[in-house]
Amino acid sequence: MTTVDDRRRYALFGGLAAFFVLFFLAPVGTVFFRAAGETEAGAAWATVVDILTASRTRSVVTFTVGQASLSAALAVILALPGAYLVSHFTFPGRRIIYSLSLLPFVLPSIIVVVAMIGFYGKSGIINRLLGTDYNLVYNFRGIVLAHVFYNFSLAIRVISTAWTGISRRYRESAESLGDSSRGVFFRVTLPLLLPAILTSFILVFIYCFLSFGVVLVFGGIKYATFEVAIYREMFINLDLPAAAVFALLQILFSGIFIVVSSRFIHRSRAEALDTGTVLPSMRTLPLLPRTVMTGYLIVMVLFVLGPITTMVVRAFTTSAGTLGLENFRQLLVPGAADRNVESILRSSVVGVIGRSLLVAAASGTVTFAAATAAALSLRGRRSAAVDNALQIPIGMSLVTVGLGLRLLWQDALPPVVLIVLGQFFVAFPLVFRIIRSGVEELSDRVVNSAAILGASRGQILRDIEMPLLRRTFLNAYAYALALPFADLTIVMAVGRGRLATFPVAIYRLIGFRSFDLALAMAVLYVAFCLVLFWIIDTTSLPRGSLRSERS
């Protein structure tokens, strides 16, 4: 028998499904349909087979999977000690490491490239300090380095969150039963930590698998990911059938990863709730481990902050080579530069800021609302098929989504709406995943145990559900805002040049050879992101967890 509540759930979920069909499946289907139409009659399969068996396709597959595995493995290995430190001790800079995990989602890849070059490039800081000109980045190494840089703090975030929960709940009880600490690690901690390690590996793997900008610059002619191959076929070789085959392959591969990862992600997120204990300071450690750990921290902070700092310093360097505000003045004060910045950007800088915030707010809110609705309508139901289906957009190439939206909807909807729709599918999988696991976590464990302990319904709501969900919601909202804020592909694909957001402005300045101004723009952008995420992180952290270092 279906209840009213059930019917509501079905209606809600049906609405969401219709939305997916109309604005995701139908547009993408249009692209594939069109691609099939461009092959000679009856030759569609032959074309597919030709492309699949081409040696270039094979090298795309090997490279994409190879670099993604290596990058993910390195990121996770480097993150493990960091995750241990973050989850067990307080130390200066702990907050920064935690907040930095949002970095990969907000930095447009062109900025990452600029930052990497300033630090690791042939005329970068490292080579200058060593007095050498080693070629560190223009090859396979460069791609992996950039990917590890991008993703390693995300791995720290995922693993440390799990580790925090484990240490408290199980380690203490195991130790009280007389187990040695090494034994505890191998018999208790590691098995419990494994899902989180695998989760972070798969997350990083998927992001590297889908990498575009970094590979475009550092890949030279030798290396291309699927995303790069799709772009090349679609916009340069004008071979839509080939682009479609690559897009299909990419979605197929990511589909497999998503199914595999879904087996771990629920379990690892189950440990994600932090009720907050005061952690010991790292100073309580004996000298040797303390020195090793401090060394590790310094190297890691240099690894992440070095490139960004270099970028910031360059943005503040004047044409005379001294430090100053020249670039920012030219950017912000009309008439301060010979070149007309407003006409290069086709907007004022204030306009860029305002528009970026508005677009991110619109896309972020729509995504957040839909993801919340979906998570609540699925509450208490485990359906791997539905969960996995909702993750599919993550593997769909953005240029394909953009093209599909244009083909199907551009006569009916204005560019701004198309941008919001496109960005919706960029952010939805991750945002939904965060909210879903938060919501599930509540119903299963905490609420029941609180109820068993005799808490009233009102108490549970006020003291447990809302504070805990509030954190999930804010966290999810941060990602919902960050992804569209950093998006260049969708804005460019469907915006018809009308909307200059931050990444577009940076792209335009670089295209006009104004590299110094592009750097200044990038610094403004990063500053905005940091303020935004600092606000969100401060409001979303539960009392006493990361703030404990203050006391």
Residues 40-79 that bind other proteins (CB under 8 A): none
Shortest Cβ 338–other proteins spacing (Å)? 5
- 234 in contact with other proteins (CB under 8 A): yes
Count of other CB atoms within 10 angstroms of residue 210: 20
Please identify, using beta-carbon distances, which residue of 342 and 549 lies nearer to other proteins: 342
351 near other proteins, judged by CB under 8 A? no
Residue number with CB closer to other proteins (187 or 513)? 513
Return the range that interacts with other proteins (CB under 8 A); candidates 45-53, 79-87, 113-121, 352-360: 113-121
Q: Which of 261, 372, 400, 475 binds other proteins (CB under 8 A)?
A: 372
Nearer to other proteins, 149 or 533 (CB): 149
Q: For residues 337 and 389, which CB has a smaller minimum distance to other proteins in the complex?
A: 337
Sign of CA dihedral 39, 45, 50, 53: positive
Stretch that binds other proteins, among 94-102, 133-141, 162-170, 474-482 (CB under 8 A): 133-141
Nearer to other proteins by C-beta: 36 or 259?
A: 36
Taking residue 12's Cβ as centre, other Cβ atoms within 10 Å add up to: 16
Residue 338 found at the interface with other proteins (CB under 8 A): yes
Residue in this structure with the two tokens 């952008």, named with its chain if needed: 525
Residue 414 sits in the site that holds other proteins (CB under 8 A): yes
CA distance 255 to 394: 9
Alpha-carbon distances, residue 36 vs 230, 244, 490 (angstroms): 15, 9, 24
Locate 185 and state its tokens. Answer: 């690690």
For residues 499 and 419, is the Cβ–Cβ distance under 8 A?
Answer: yes
Residue type, 75: A
Interface with other proteins by CB under 8 A: which range of 14-22, 253-261, 478-486, 524-532?
14-22
List own/partner pairs for 349-357 with CB under 8 A and 24 or more apart.
349/505, 349/521, 349/524, 351/500, 352/500, 352/501, 352/502, 352/504, 352/505, 353/502, 353/524, 353/528, 355/499, 355/500, 355/501, 356/485, 356/501, 356/502, 356/528
Size of the site for other proteins (CB under 8 A): 79
Pattern 491-520, binding to other proteins, x per CB under 8 A? -xx--xxx--------xx-xxxxxx--x--
**Residue 251's closest CA among 230, 237, 233, 266?**
230
- Least distance to other proteins from the beta carbon of 492, Å? 4
Helix axes 140-166, 287-315, angle to 10 degrees: 130
Task: Say whether residue 319 binds other proteins (CB under 8 A).
Answer: yes
Q: Which region, judged by CB under 8 A, interacts with other proteins, from 15-23, 86-94, 167-175, 271-279?
A: 15-23
Smallest distance, other proteins to C-beta of residue 314, A: 8
Burial of residue 278, with CB atoms counted within 10 A of its CB: 0-12 exposed, 13-18 middle, 19 or more buried: exposed
Q: What is the DSSP letter of 477?
A: H
- Enumerate residues 260-289 that contact other proteins by CB under 8 A: none
CA distance linking residue 166 with residue 172, whole number of Å: 9
238 binds other proteins (CB under 8 A): yes
36 near other proteins, judged by CB under 8 A: no
Residue 40 burial (CB < 10 Å; 0-12/13-18/19+)? exposed
Q: What are the residues facing 323 on neighbouring strands?
A: 317
Q: Is 366 in the site for other proteins (CB under 8 A)?
A: yes
90 bridge partner residues: 281
Segment 446-475, which members bind other proteins (CB under 8 A)? 447, 451, 457, 461
Name residues contacting other proteins, limited to 149-208 (CB under 8 A): none
- Find the binder of other proteins among 344, 405, 430, 532 (CB under 8 A): 344
**Contact between 490 and other proteins (CB under 8 A)?**
no
What are residue 148's phi and psi, to 5 degrees?
-65, -45
- Which of these ranges, 149-157, 185-193, 291-299, 443-451, lies near other proteins under the rule CB under 8 A? 443-451
Q: Is residue 370 part of the contact set for other proteins (CB under 8 A)?
A: yes
Q: Which span sits near other proteins by CB under 8 A: 66-74, 157-165, 259-267, 372-380?
A: 372-380
- Please pick, from the candidates 88, 122, 168, 547, the single residue that binds other proteins as defined by CB under 8 A: 122
Rank residues 310 and 391 by Cβ distance to other proteins and give the closer one: 310
Q: Applying CB under 8 A, does 325 fall inside the site for other proteins?
A: no
Residues 374-413 that bind other proteins (CB under 8 A): 376-377, 379, 403, 406-407, 409, 411-413
Among 43, 369, 384, 527, binds other proteins (CB under 8 A): 369
Q: Is 329 in the site for other proteins (CB under 8 A)?
A: no
Residue 228 interacts with other proteins (CB under 8 A)?
yes
| 542: exposed, middle or buried (Cβ count in 10 Å: 0-12, 13-18, 19+) | middle
Rounded CA gap, 463 and 275, in Å?
A: 12
Angle at 154 between CA 149 and CA 160, to 5 degrees: 125
Q: Which of 193, 492 has the CB closer to other proteins?
A: 492
